[in-house]
Structure 1
Amino acid sequence: MNTRTAEEHALVIHAALEAAALAPSVHNSQPWSFAVSGDEISVRADVDRKLRFSDPAGRQLLISCGAALFNLRTAMRCQGYEPVVRVLPDPDRPALLATIRLGDKAVPDEHTQLLNAEIERRRTHRAGFTNLPVPDRLVEALVQQAAAEGARLTPVRAPEAVRIVAALTEAAQYVQAQDRVLSLEVIRWARPPGSARKDGVPADAYPVEPAETDPPFAQRDYAWRHDWGTTADQDASTSAGVVALLTTTGDTREEWIAAGQALQQALLHACAHGVSAAFHTQALEMPHLREFLRQELCSGEYPQMIMRLGITFDAKGAVRRPLSDLVD
């Protein structure tokens, strides 16, 4: 490899890593690290950032890392290289989730460029949406985006089913709020005003009081026992938006990673059309409630994410750790 090619590859690798660092993750815990060897990036789980009580198996951690892997793939394609990916390449190294290296030269298509442009703009929403409708054609497109990565995104259309999902979320949030250990695990990632930390949920990204939606979807209480957070306007948006379930046919580590990639592809496509997402994982952190959802609402498939999709004009900032903290 000549010097010019090596420099070009280094720039591509750097751009891909910057994109990976912008992926969504549970509580913005950013539970990943990367190692670079030549033209190859290793994606590793940072188990010190795992939610030990609410996510003991690491399912949400791997979904988060799957989203980062999708960003790596997308950025490489936009830099003109086809990524070559191996998922879970070494059974003896469970923290090594994937390797991705530069393959042949390739010209990115328009859709890949569209998704790549949204990586920096995408934000997680933690309140209600406006009453502006999410077009059915867009929802169907998101279904197709998720399917392309091996997962199923199902919009919950029946009002009765939406109320069931909302009630399960509210029940799980209530039970978890009574558990001091689980509450402390959540507020570990709540950042006070003016915090210099580059992970977790900053104070301007969550409300002091849980945001109201119709029907009511319980929010994480990042303001537990303190008065950090923002105060909602009296005229704040309250629509729950479109409720959707992301599922997989199995429940293996490989399928958790695939779910993360499917989630991120759908989120970026939604963002390109002005639609944001709010996540509700409380019920999925309680095995019996997750199993109820699987049997009663997911046609036997395993629910990996509960989300609401809608339109909001309440843009928030984002914090991310610098690459120097992420890359070996």
Structure 2
Amino acid sequence: MTSPTLDAPAVERLISAAVAAPSLRDIQPWRFGLEPDTRTLEVRAAADRVLPPADRLGRALHLSVGCVVFNLRVVAVHLGWEPVTRLLPRPDRPDLLATVRLADATRTTPAPGSYDAVWHRHSSRFPFSEVALPLDLRGELTDAARTEGADLVFTGHRETERVVNATREAERRNRKHPAHAGSRRLSRGAAGPQGASDLRPDVLPIRPLERPPQLAVLTTARDLPTDWLRAGQALERVLLLATECGVQASLLHQAVEWTDLRDRVSDSADGRRARPQTVIRLGYGPEGSLHDAATTGSGPVTHPAE
């Protein structure tokens, strides 16, 4: 099998797919490097774009980079390579979070996700319809997360209320916390090419959410940086599959930023052993767009009856 050429158009396509990945508050906290001799892409943390108040441990940073890595894998396979991924490959270089080597494809490598969905995935902050996701689709989304080493737990009615209430409380704290307010100001000036329509948990619908929202908690068994990177790949795999199936999504990440509220989300994900990484809101409704983001404002999660 003839290996494709790593020329400028291929590199541009890979990087374009990478920056289409979701990131907390759209700050895109990553930098890229390339080792041409080994055809290895490096994904590094951008220290000047990290948000310590909202992400003291770097969990959201790693989650975002995991999404980047997954997009690189999808496009690499589409272009004819077999991606070989290493997470945290150099202890002496803590900013180097992942590498993706573009190996010769010695066999037919299955695509980890839809190439077209990479370019069409957007967050939607519109309220969704009350049509429930089919059980078989829920199963496919759960399997997608599990393939990447994470779990996706759909919440029941009581658990959904618990997560929504925790999110409201997190928003209340964020509005009162000066450091978090500063993070929001920074993020609005740092959005990238897809940033204006991407997953920004600090910008919520001025329209009320559907009642009840269909929520799923993405969890891992452990809570180490490698787990966060795997969770990010699981998140993007789920989002691309949802996009491919005509399902809209957005993130409710606020509660995960606060330790005590994160415990409440953990309780909603079947036990404290699960480590929640983010909450995904899913449903059928209008697609996200630049206009969607431009017409939304910062405000509490509400329901029609409230």
Q: TM-score range by the shorter chain?
A: 0.7 to 0.9
Q: Any conservation in 2 of the 1:78–1:108 contact (CA below 8 Å)?
A: no
User: Structure 1 residue 124 and structure 2 residue 123: aligned?
Assistant: yes
Q: Any conservation in 1 of the 2:166–2:264 contact (CA below 8 Å)?
A: no
1:260 to 210, 229, 232: 232
1:305 to 278, 284, 304: 278
C-alpha displacement at 1:281, in angstroms?
1.3
Aligned twin of 1:40: 40
C-alpha displacement at 1:82, in angstroms?
0.7
C-alpha displacement at 1:169, in angstroms?
0.8
C-alpha displacement at 1:34, in angstroms?
0.6
Aligned twin of 2:71: 71
C-alpha displacement at 1:87, in angstroms?
0.9
Q: In structure 2, do the counterparts of structure 1 residues 282 and 82 end up closer, same or farther at CA, with 3 Å as the change threshold? A: same
Aligned twin of 1:247: 219
User: Aligned equivalents of 2:194 and 2:121: distance in 1?
Assistant: 16
Aligned twin of 1:316: 289
User: Structure 1 residue 273 and structure 2 residue 265: aligned?
Assistant: no
Q: Any conservation in 2 of the 1:16–1:73 contact (CA below 8 Å)?
A: no
Q: In structure 2, do the counterparts of structure 1 residues 220 and 143 end up closer, same or farther at CA, with 3 Å as the change threshold? A: same
Q: Any conservation in 2 of the 1:240–1:310 contact (CA below 8 Å)?
A: no
Give the TM-score taking structure 1 as reference length.
0.79
Aligned twin of 2:84: 84
Tell me the alpha carbon deviations over residues 78-103 of structure 1, each in whole angstroms, 9 at most, x when there is no partner. Answer: 11111111111111111101111111
User: Aligned equivalents of 1:309 and 1:9: distance in 2?
Assistant: 37
Count of paired positions: 285
The share of aligned pairs that are identical, in percent, is 30
User: Aligned equivalents of 1:205 and 1:245: distance in 2?
Assistant: 19
- Superposition CA RMSD, Å: 2.7
The gaps in structure 1 that reach 5 residues or longer are 208-218, 223-229, 319-328
Aligned twin of 1:210: none
User: Aligned equivalents of 1:103 and 1:25: distance in 2?
Assistant: 27
Q: Any conservation in 1 of the 2:255–2:262 contact (CA below 8 Å)?
A: yes
C-alpha displacement at 1:282, in angstroms?
1.2
Give the TM-score taking structure 2 as reference length.
0.84
User: Aligned equivalents of 1:169 and 1:17: distance in 2?
Assistant: 33
Q: In structure 2, do the counterparts of structure 1 residues 282 and 200 end up closer, same or farther at CA, with 3 Å as the change threshold? A: farther
User: Aligned equivalents of 1:298 and 1:30: distance in 2?
Assistant: 31
2:18 to 14, 17, 20: 20
